[in-house]
Structure 1
Amino acid sequence: MNGVPKAPLYLGLAGLIPFIWGALTYLNGDLQAWGSSTFGSRFVGPYVQLFYGSVILSFMSGVLWGFATKTSGSKAATCYALSVLPALWAFFMTSGGPVTAGINLIVGFAGLLLLDAMFWYWGLAPRWWIKLRILLTAIVVLCLAVGVYL
């Protein structure tokens, strides 16, 4: 992760904890039982991943909105419109059962990575941005896939 400032790297990695925790508690019944009795059933397995994933997609809409402020005119309008898509996706596409919601979150995070790449390509995001986003997205998708495909 050469070139990625330490604060965004460490905070981004820390932001993976609920996804990793959810995958681990999905795979390990004893850990799930402990987590459920300690934190509550909403904070284990796919449930923590789905709720937190919706929060993160909404948060990332705000990040993209911030990048949109670096441009003007019709390009700004396009960037602002694109920036709200992850939050809208999370709102409309995470209902239903955990498998459907998990698949939709995977698609949402893949779409977010495309938006990240566009904003980065347009010079609106820091030079190191896409490197960090690829790493974080890969781990998020892998963790969500545990609840969807296993």
Structure 2
Amino acid sequence: MNSIPRSALILGLAGLIPFLWGAATILFPQLQSWGLATFGGRFVGPYVQLFYGAVILSFMSGVLWGFATKATGRAATAGYILSVIPALWAFFMTGGGPTTAAVNLIVGFLGLLMLDWHFWRLGLAPQWWMHLRVLLTGIVVISYLPLVF
């Protein structure tokens, strides 16, 4: 079955809100002003996107770790090693200013997509996994473009 479960799709799409909100507050200064007055500086513009992106890469490391638990022997060991890469990437690569951090997060999310594919090919992720991950990753990458250009 390649159909994404409704709850996974809804929660995955809801998880895009901080990425999209951050991009919107970069593209529309009046929205950023409203967001600053309403939520504070931490929840608008680059800050929300960069911080949340690091959180999500770390979260996805945990998801990959869970997939690795389904493997055995060397495949499990390799899976555990690979699963920590997104969290380490977020930790080490999100400094250097908002543009550099955004580019590094784009690379991190694209790398995560390759790891998703690897675990999926091994049969450790659900059949529908790549349909969801390609959709979400594409939207995340697009949401970072206002920070890069």
Q: What are the within-5 Å matches in structure 2 for residues 53-132 of structure 1?
A: 53-132=53-132
Q: d(CA) in 2 for partners of 1:140 and 1:146?
A: 12
2:55 corresponds to 1:51 = no
Shift of 1:96: 1.4
* Superposition misfits of 4+ residues, deviation over 4 angstroms: none
Rounded Cα–Cα distance in structure 1 between residues aligned with 2:55 and 2:78: 23
Distance (whole Å) between structure 2 residues aligned to residue 147 and residue 8 of structure 1: 28
Superposition RMSD in Å: 0.7
Query: Alpha-carbon deviations, 1:6-40, whole Å to 9, x = none?
Result: 01000000000000000000000100000011111
Q: Find the aligned partners of 2:128 and 2:8 in 1 and give their Cα distance.
A: 10
1:42-77 Cα offsets, whole Å, 9 max, x none, are 111111000000000000000000000001101100
Distance 1:44 1:123 in 2: 39
Q: Please report the TM-score for the alignment, with normalisation by the length of structure 1.
A: 0.97
Partner Cα distance (1:16, 1:51) in 2? 13
Aligned length: 148
Structure 2 residue ranges without an equivalent (≥5): none
Q: Which runs of 5+ in 1 are unaligned?
A: none
C-alpha distance in structure 2 between counterparts of 1:129 and 1:111, whole Å? 16
> Is the aligned partner of 1:9 residue 2:9?
yes
Deviation, structure 1 residue 148: 1.2
Q: Distance in 2 between matches of 1:140 and 1:23?
A: 10
Q: Which residue of 2 aligns with 1:33?
A: 33
Deviation, structure 1 residue 123: 0.3
Letter in 2 for 1:101: A
Describe the superposition over 1:91-117 as per-residue Cα deviations: whole angstroms up to 9, x where unpaired.
000011000000000000000000000
User: The residue matched to 1:70 in structure 2 has which SS?
Assistant: coil
Distance 2:122 2:46 in 1: 35
